[in-house]
Structure 1
């Protein structure tokens, strides 16, 4: 199929925030993050394609096969599936949402293609990597709507007796997990909260016969008007995947016009947000990076879930920053990436 060629993240760029600059060729720039996105006041958006988009082809030695499938022709939502070929029996399914501040990224990015193929092999699970609509052309809740649409599409596959999808014979639809990193983790969380007003019983009925078993949030992209200690004081290198100015820009581009960072979609702990006591009884795992500006916000989120009586576990990966598992090739990052994969495998198999 023809996939949308989403623009790519710039690894190693200076993610400084620039606003209101004049460009003699293209008009007035309203918002910009260097190397990632440039939004003009006339509504046009540019995303330099620096990380390549790749096809679903994989090396045979990995033991995983991959293909792309259309979810919705009208909105051009599609997904890339990863299926281990050496594993016998029914496999759990991990529905995964990529990161990128809601504004950049693609299921076809080479970094996600590599990471998720390896994760499928390591964790012995099928992965459905959803390519959702991006802001600012499609501001929130578009990405959440696309997540719900992906689950409803899966529901139809589970109900169909004549589906021709190549992966369904290996799929245990009673063993489904939602996951994502950064903005994708935010999407996974908000998809769950949108499933019938956070009522676990009603949410289960809404996607039956699918059975949601748990949620995996990797460096969840949350925010708030009040700055945390790590947001104010963490020193980020020019090669960091996220700094405070870039984070603020992403939220201005993604949230409804006029919304603050204490909007419930951004800040799940702000006044007016979902009461975590009412959140479904799904086990939650949160992966946090020690050098991430979002570290303290993630730890506060985990603590709040615990106080609300939720089944939550978390791990802090030492010495690495935001999105290290897809953007960094250092030896330390590779070691920590294997740790993340092992934790995900344990979480999936232990429930």
Structure 2
């Protein structure tokens, strides 16, 4: 076992010469449960025993013991720079309990494999495999009775924060361009503080080069095979020639005033509007907040406002904040 370190990124993750990976956060897990505070029920499913791909499903209190009308389905991709966190961490479990409790929707939280052990594009491939699994429930014949009976696959949304928002965007593009058509209707995507980058310096990046260097280091760790660095289409939508074929009609982008990637989120909106995509895009900015603030304090005024905005977006109430 070698103690020689190949990567040491901001005391968040270390990669040793022998391939060992040491993470300093996001490794805790909590079991699925009936949440006493929200009444939300969760359960875990294995999507692929071969790869280890899995997910955590959430249903609201209103549907647990009743045959109610089917509810919108949100497929959620967690953040963590493609290298950290999981669908089973307390951070995401608590957040999705709160979101489902307030919104009355069904959620599939995808537990894709992490880099660097599983370099990109594995996270994207896992996410696509999870979407195909979701689509297998279209006629009520899938392996999850929850999705068969409670999820409306004519009203599907993708969402995620940071790297998860990046995945949500790339999955929506893949829905739009793939010859492999999925048996559900993607209505919209919600990108919260999306992890987009680019070699060209924009906005506040000129004043905070150390943070851009950190995000670049994470990207190169997650995607070592990329020949374009931060101009890889996966991380830089300006380089993605398929952006106009985004496979949904509505997009909500949430940004935070003090977040380093705020300018990238706003630039994404500009790119989308200029691309030829014919959908509608909305934006919400949280004043005085930083990256993924809502995960750190679920009951803050701005966090609750964001949940309310996501709910109104899903249920098609148009507003810009």
Structure 2 vs 1, CA of residues 206 and 231 (structure 1 numbering), >3 Å: closer, same or farther? same
How far residue 160 of structure 1 moved from its aligned partner, in angstroms, is: 4.7
How far residue 63 of structure 1 moved from its aligned partner, in angstroms, is: 1.8
CA offsets, 1:288-336, max 9 Å, x none?
Answer: 111111111111111121223442111111111111111347x7xx111
How far residue 45 of structure 1 moved from its aligned partner, in angstroms, is: 1.2
Select which of 191, 202, 214 maps to 1:217: 191
Counterpart-to-counterpart distance in 2, 1:165 and 1:26? 47
Q: Is the 8 A contact 1:32 1:249 kept in 2?
A: no
How far residue 216 of structure 1 moved from its aligned partner, in angstroms, is: 0.7
How far residue 265 of structure 1 moved from its aligned partner, in angstroms, is: 0.7
Structure 2 vs 1, CA of residues 153 and 68 (structure 1 numbering), >3 Å: closer, same or farther? same
Counterpart-to-counterpart distance in 2, 1:232 and 1:41? 33
Counterpart-to-counterpart distance in 2, 1:73 and 1:40? 28
Give the alignment of 1:1-351 within 5 angstroms: 26-49=2-25, 52-86=28-62, 88-161=68-141, 163=143, 165-195=145-175, 198-199=176-177, 206-208=181-183, 210-233=184-207, 243-259=211-227, 260-270=229-239, 273-308=240-275, 309-328=278-297, 334-350=300-316
How far residue 164 of structure 1 moved from its aligned partner, in angstroms, is: 5.3
Counterpart-to-counterpart distance in 2, 1:31 and 1:162? 42
Unpaired runs of 5+ residues, structure 2, are none
Counterpart-to-counterpart distance in 2, 1:120 and 1:61? 12
Counterpart-to-counterpart distance in 1, 2:87 and 2:245? 32
Counterpart-to-counterpart distance in 2, 1:50 and 1:277? 34
Q: Is the 8 A contact 2:45 2:56 kept in 1?
A: yes
Counterpart-to-counterpart distance in 2, 1:162 and 1:153? 8
- Match of 1:158, SS state, is coil
How far residue 31 of structure 1 moved from its aligned partner, in angstroms, is: 1.4
- Match of 1:261, SS state, is helix
How far residue 235 of structure 1 moved from its aligned partner, in angstroms, is: 9.8
